[in-house]
Amino acid sequence: MDPEGSVQDPEEKYSVCVGREDDIKKSARMTAVVHDREVVIFYHKGEYHAMDIRCYHSGGPLHLGEIEDFDGRSCIVCPWHKYKITLTTGEGLYQSINPKDPSAKPKWCSKGVKQRIHTVTVNNGNIYVTLSKEPFRCDSDFYATGNFKVIQSSS
């Protein structure tokens, strides 16, 4: 609470304006640096999704991938080795078959959350991204932090 007695929204100071809604609706994607972290923002089927820009597998550029649906879930397909990452949750999807039942159809499975997803909000035609502060270790953190980070901190 500040001296005036009002409660400041703690999220407000962490969100960063990355562009205009009109622009991303035209291009369907944009890239941004949010607090020294590179992210890509997609506009797909009327919704916004933000995630770390480097693929959790080997750091591929997800902003250059295509979006496709797999098992009814929209995924960004990494242009380097074609890994599929769900836009809403950051899960890595793969297909598996039961080797003991060769007639069975391949089934889509999840490796769990691999790519860190960030929050997108829209206010007055501006797009804001708030970085995820979820405390779990996400594989994509490797390429977004430390020595593999492309954008180096100015501090």
User: What burial letters (b/e) apply to 44-77, b meaning 16+ CB within 10 Å?
Assistant: eeeebbbbbbbbbbebbbbbebeeeeeeebbbbb
Strands 91-96 and 107-113: antiparallel
Contact pick of 39, 60, 74, 130 for ligand FES (by CB under 6 A): 60
Is residue 111 near ligand FES by the rule CB under 6 A? no
Neighbours of 101 (CB within 10 A): 8
Residue span binding ligand FES (CB under 6 A) among the ranges 23-31, 41-49, 53-61, 108-116: 53-61
Residue 48 or 83 having the CB closest to ligand FES: 83
* Smallest separation (angstroms) from ligand FES to the CB of 25: 26
Pick from 34, 37, 38, 57 the residue near ligand FES by CB under 6 A. 57
**Interface with ligand FES (CB under 6 A):** 55, 57-60, 78, 80-81, 83
